Amino acid sequence: MTTVHWDIAIKPGELDAGPGTSDKRSLWEDHRQDLRAIKHQARLRRLQPRTGVDFSSNDYLALSTSQRLRDAVGAALVRGVSIGSGGSRLLRGNDPEHEALEAEAAAFFGSESALFFASGFAANAALLATLPQRGDLVVHDALVHASAHEGMRLGRAETRAATHNDAAAIETVIMQWRANGGTGRPWIAVESLYSMDGDRAPLAYLLEVATRHDGMLLIDEAHATGVFGPNGRGLAASLEGRENVITLRTCGKALGSEGALLCGPAVARDFLVNRARGFIFSTAPSPLMASAVREGLQMLADEPERRTRLAALIAHAEHVLAPCGVTPTGSQILPLMIGDDAATMRVAAAVQAAGFDIRGIRPPTVPAGTARLRISLTLNVDEADIDRLADSLQEILP
Ligand X SMILES: Cc1ncc(COP(=O)(O)O)c(C=O)c1O
- Nearer residue to ligand X within complex by CB, 124 or 370: 124
Q: Is 59 in the site for ligand X (CB under 6 A)?
A: no
Stretch that binds ligand X, among 71-79, 116-124, 344-352, 376-384 (CB under 6 A): 116-124
Q: How far is the CB of 154 from ligand X (least distance, A)?
A: 15
Q: 223, 282, 385, 392: which one is catalytic?
A: 223
Name 165's Cβ contacts closer than 8 Å, sequence gap at least 6. 141, 194, 199, 200, 201, 202
Least distance from ligand X to the Cβ atom of residue 223, Å = 6
d(CA 210, CA 195): 23
Of the two residues 365 and 380, which places its CB atom closer to ligand X in the complex? 365
Could you tell me which of 60, 57, 63 has the C-alpha nearest to residue 296?
Answer: 63
Beta-strand relationship, 371-376 and 359-361? antiparallel
DSSP string for residues in 64-113: TT-HHHHHHHHHHHHTT--SS--SBTTTTT--HHHHHHHHHHHHHHT-SE
Q: How far is the CB of 220 from ligand X (least distance, A)?
A: 5
Closest to ligand X by CB, 143 vs 379, is: 143
Phi and psi (nearest 5°) for 219? Answer: -115, 115
Concerning whether 253 is annotated as a catalytic residue, the answer is yes
Catalytic residue list contains 244: no
Residue 118 CB, nearest distance to ligand X (Å)?
8
The residue from 85, 111, 192, 195 that is catalytic is 195
> Do the bridges between strand 356-357 and strand 53-54 make them parallel or antiparallel, or are there none, so unpaired?
parallel
Give the Cα separation of 170 and 175 in Å (integer).
9
Binding span for ligand X by CB under 6 A among 70-78, 102-110, 119-127, 358-366: 119-127
Q: Which is nearer to ligand X, 58 or 85 (CB)?
A: 58
Q: Using an 8 Å Cβ cutoff, are 83 and 288 in contact? A: yes
Provide the β-strand partners of residue 245. 217
220 contacts ligand X (rule: CB under 6 A): yes
Per-residue CA distances from 18 to 10, 42, 223 (Å): 14, 11, 39
Give the nearest distance from C-beta 10 to ligand X in angstroms: 26
Numbers of helices and strands, H then E, in the chain: 14, 12
Cα separation of 15 and 37, whole Å? Answer: 9
Known catalytic residue at 164: no
Binding mask 140-169 for ligand X (x = CB under 6 A): -----x-x----------------------
Concerning whether 58 is annotated as a catalytic residue, the answer is yes
Residue 250 as a binder of ligand X (CB under 6 A): the answer is yes
Of residues 226 and 393, the one with the C-beta less far from ligand X: 226
State which residue, 146 or 315, has the beta carbon closest to ligand X.
146
Phi, then psi, of 359 in degrees rounded to 5: -105, 145
Q: Check if 319 is active-site.
A: no
Q: Please report, as a single letter, which amino acid is at residue 72.
A: A
Q: Nearest 5°: CA angle at 201, between 142 and 136?
A: 55
- Scan residues 178-217 and list those touching ligand X (CB under 6 A): 191, 195
Q: 126 or 139: whose CB is closer to ligand X?
A: 126
Give, as ranges, the residues between 255 and 294 that touch ligand X (CB under 6 A): 260
- What are the catalytic residues? 58, 145, 191, 195, 220, 223, 253
Binding site for ligand X (CB under 6 A): 119-121, 124, 145, 147, 191, 195, 220, 222, 250, 252, 260
